[in-house]
């Protein structure tokens, strides 16, 4: 009996322990799930109201089908540019008056300032094809200023084509954004470079900021990664796999061919231009361990600025000062985001855990966007999303939620937009969004776009 009594606790112990273990595991898993659903919301607009603007349809001055076609393309592009600028409250086309004023004389301002349009600004103009050239007259009027409503008046003329029609619309939109956006130039004329996979090879492609005009840049027949356009837009640096391993290579946009860049041995990845275009930082494993190196624009005068066990990769410059770099280091285990001065001193760790990759420093130097899997580990809920951290305070916000694996953020030159890669499995596409995570839309659709990089202007 005593033996039985003694044995009883032992025979019960595993099941009770198992039950307790299960309870703890469930509690932890539910706790983690509940925590993973926490959303941090920060208003980035500072409470500043957006300007309500209307884009009237441009008036075609001839009735031939070509002009009508250009007019529709122009209207569509201008509307899209103003809508995605991030600083306007655009009057819906269903609320705008039906009229298409082609000249200031035809413009009835009161019609646009009254409800339901209630526009504070209205863009209008005319479009014509004269002698093979498309001629566009565009105006921007302040509807509240009855004395002198004209804010902007421009005329454009280019050889008629779909491409030039889009280009004129981009130029006009950028003029409007420059006038009304507090001095920050628009991004409608900027480009996005990205990696596109075709037939087992990965080549660098280029497209307009809105996803139009996608075309191939490099034809190396190999795998190329991490394209980075120089600040002047003349040189494109990237990492490419050749017969001597991974090396930094440079493509001249002016010459349309590769230009020399020294191969220093080891695996060399993720080049980054300083904003003055005079220095280039990249990671190299020539010494065995991936470390950050800085050289001049031609790849000479290399100096190593990290010396710590563990990989140091993905450097980016602070474009405001060029005196700091952010990069990803695995010196404490999982890769984390760090910043340091450009001489390798003053190292600061920015992320407190998880799995951080692909930093991109905002043009005004205030923020770093990066991809972060905050709950990295087997069986842990959560995924890789785009985050933005304020460098001075290390406060961060999460920009993407539940949209699959997001990576490779890159800031637009106006600091209002971020382009990034999002996908699942082997498929990935390029997306843009405003820097507060709203206004997200897809730029590529074939599932092969990756590693986008926004041009500097």
> Quick one: 177 or 280, whose CB is closer to another protein?
177
Q: Is 142 in the site for another protein (CB under 8 A)?
A: yes
Task: Work out how close the CB of 72 gets to another protein at its nearest, in angstroms, rounded to a whole number.
Answer: 29
294/270 Cα distance (integer angstroms): 12
Q: Is 110 in the site for another protein (CB under 8 A)?
A: no
Q: Which of residues 222-261 bind another protein (CB under 8 A)?
A: none
Scanning 4-12, 145-153, 250-258, 422-430 for contacts with another protein by CB under 8 A, the matching segment is 145-153
> Quick one: 152 or 220, whose CB is closer to another protein?
152
> Quick one: 16 or 150, whose CB is closer to another protein?
150
Q: Is 394 in the site for another protein (CB under 8 A)?
A: no
Q: Which of 182, 199, 333, 425 binds another protein (CB under 8 A)?
A: 182
Task: Work out how close the CB of 109 gets to another protein at its nearest, in angstroms, rounded to a whole number.
Answer: 13
Q: Is 291 in the site for another protein (CB under 8 A)?
A: no
Strand order in the sheet with 291-296: 268-273, 279-284, 291-296, 303-304
| Closest residue by Cα to residue 53 from 103, 95, 99 | 95
Q: What is the DSSP string of 91-141?
A: PPTTTS-S----SGGG--HHHHHSTTT--SEEEEEEEEEETTEEEEEEEEE
**Which residues neighbour 19 within 8 Å (Cβ) at sequence distance 6 or greater?**
none
320/305 Cα distance (integer angstroms): 20
Q: Which of 94, 260, 301, 393 binds another protein (CB under 8 A)?
A: 393
> Quick one: 51 or 223, whose CB is closer to another protein?
51
Task: Work out how close the CB of 288 gets to another protein at its nearest, in angstroms, rounded to a whole number.
Answer: 41
Sign (positive or negative) of CA dihedral 406, 409, 412, 416: positive
Scanning 139-147, 323-331, 398-406, 442-450 for contacts with another protein by CB under 8 A, the matching segment is 139-147
Q: Is 441 in the site for another protein (CB under 8 A)?
A: no
Task: Work out how close the CB of 147 gets to another protein at its nearest, in angstroms, rounded to a whole number.
Answer: 7
30 within 8 A of 96, measured Cβ to Cβ: no
Q: Is 131 in the site for another protein (CB under 8 A)?
A: no
**Which residues neighbour 138 within 8 Å (Cβ) at sequence distance 6 or greater?**
58, 123, 124, 125, 152, 153, 154, 155, 156, 172, 175
Q: Which of 34, 98, 115, 148 binds another protein (CB under 8 A)?
A: 148
Q: Which of 301, 392, 402, 426 binds another protein (CB under 8 A)?
A: 392
Q: Which of 135, 152, 258, 347 binds another protein (CB under 8 A)?
A: 152
Scanning 10-18, 146-154, 396-404, 443-451 for contacts with another protein by CB under 8 A, the matching segment is 146-154
Q: Is 350 in the site for another protein (CB under 8 A)?
A: no
Q: Is 120 in the site for another protein (CB under 8 A)?
A: yes
x/- letters, 36..65, toward another protein (CB under 8 A): ----------xxx--x--------------
Q: Taking CA 447 as the corner, what is the angle to CA 443 and CA 448, rounded to the nearest 5 degrees?
A: 95
**What's the farthest any 2 CA atoms get from each other in the chain?**
111
287 within 8 A of 305, measured Cβ to Cβ: no
Q: Which of 267, 366, 398, 403 binds another protein (CB under 8 A)?
A: 366
> Quick one: 364 or 438, whose CB is closer to another protein?
364
Give me the count of residues in the chain.
457
**DSSP β-bridge partners for residue 296:** 279
Q: Which of 73, 184, 253, 350 binds another protein (CB under 8 A)?
A: 184
Task: Work out how close the CB of 50 gets to another protein at its nearest, in angstroms, rounded to a whole number.
Answer: 10
Q: What is the DSSP string of 297-316?
A: TTS-S-EE----SS-EEEEE
Q: Is 103 in the site for another protein (CB under 8 A)?
A: no
Q: Is 155 in the site for another protein (CB under 8 A)?
A: no
Task: Work out how close the CB of 360 gets to another protein at its nearest, in angstroms, rounded to a whole number.
Answer: 19
189/176 Cα distance (integer angstroms): 13
Q: Is 264 in the site for another protein (CB under 8 A)?
A: no
Q: Is 35 in the site for another protein (CB under 8 A)?
A: no
| Closest residue by Cα to residue 407 from 383, 391, 390, 389 | 383
20/8 Cα distance (integer angstroms): 18
Residue 299 gets the label, from left (phi > 0), alpha (psi -120 to 50) or beta, of: left
Q: DSSP letter at 61?
A: S
How many residues bind to another protein according to rule CB under 8 A? 27
Residues that bind another protein (CB under 8 A): 46-48, 51, 87, 120-121, 142, 144-145, 147-148, 150-153, 178-184, 364, 366, 392-393
């Amino acid at each position: 009996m005593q033996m039985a009594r003694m044995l009883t606790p032992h025979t019960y112990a595993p099941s009770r322990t198992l039950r307790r273990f299960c309870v703890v595991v469930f509690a932890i898993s539910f706790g983690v799930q509940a925590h993973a659903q926490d959303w941090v919301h920060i208003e980035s607009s500072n409470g500043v109201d957006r300007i309500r603007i209307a884009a009237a349809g441009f008036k075609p001055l001839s009735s031939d089908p070509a002009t009508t076609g250009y007019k529709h393309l122009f209207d569509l592009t201008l509307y899209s540019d103003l809508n995605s600028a991030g600083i306007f409250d655009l009057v819906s086309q269903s609320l705008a008056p039906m009229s298409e004023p082609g000249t200031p004389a035809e413009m009835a301002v009161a019609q646009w300032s009254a409800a339901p349009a209630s526009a504070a600004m209205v863009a209008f103009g005319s479009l014509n094809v004269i002698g093979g050239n498309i001629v566009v007259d565009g105006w921007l009027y302040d509807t509240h200023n009855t004395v002198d409503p004209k804010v902007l008046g421009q005329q454009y003329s280019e050889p008629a084509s779909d491409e030039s029609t889009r280009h004129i619309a981009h130029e006009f939109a950028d003029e409007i954004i420059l006038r009304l956006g507090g001095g920050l130039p628009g991004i409608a004329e900027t480009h996005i470079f990205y990696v596109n996979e075709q037939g087992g090879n990965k080549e660098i492609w280029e497209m307009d900021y809105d996803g139009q005009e996608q075309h191939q840049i490099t034809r190396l027949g190999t795998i190329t990664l991490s394209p980075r356009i120089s600040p002047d837009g003349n040189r494109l640096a990237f990492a490419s796999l050749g017969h001597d391993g991974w090396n930094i290579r440079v493509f001249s946009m002016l010459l349309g061919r590769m230009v020399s860049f020294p191969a220093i041995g080891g695996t060399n990845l993720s080049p980054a231009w300083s904003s003055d275009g005079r220095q280039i930082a990249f990671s190299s494993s020539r010494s065995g361990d991936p470390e950050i190196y800085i050289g001049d624009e031609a790849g000479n005068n290399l100096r190593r600025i990290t010396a710590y066990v563990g990989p140091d990769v993905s450097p980016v410059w602070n474009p405001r000062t060029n005196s700091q770099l952010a990069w990803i280091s695995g010196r404490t285990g999982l890769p984390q985001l760090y910043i340091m001065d450009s001489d390798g001193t003053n190292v600061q760790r920015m992320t407190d855990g998880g799995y951080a990759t692909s930093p991109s420093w905002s043009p005004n130097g205030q923020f770093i966007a990066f991809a972060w899997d905050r709950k990295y580990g087997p069986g842990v809920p959560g995924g890789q999303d785009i985050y933005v951290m304020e460098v001075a305070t290390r406060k961060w916000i999460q920009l993407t939620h539940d949209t699959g694996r997001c990576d490779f953020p890159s800031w637009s030159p106006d600091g209002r937009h971020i382009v990034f890669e999002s996908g699942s499995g082997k498929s990935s596409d390029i997306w843009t969004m405003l820097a507060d995570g709203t206004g997200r839309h897809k730029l590529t659709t074939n599932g092969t776009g990756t590693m986008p990089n926004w041009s500097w202007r």
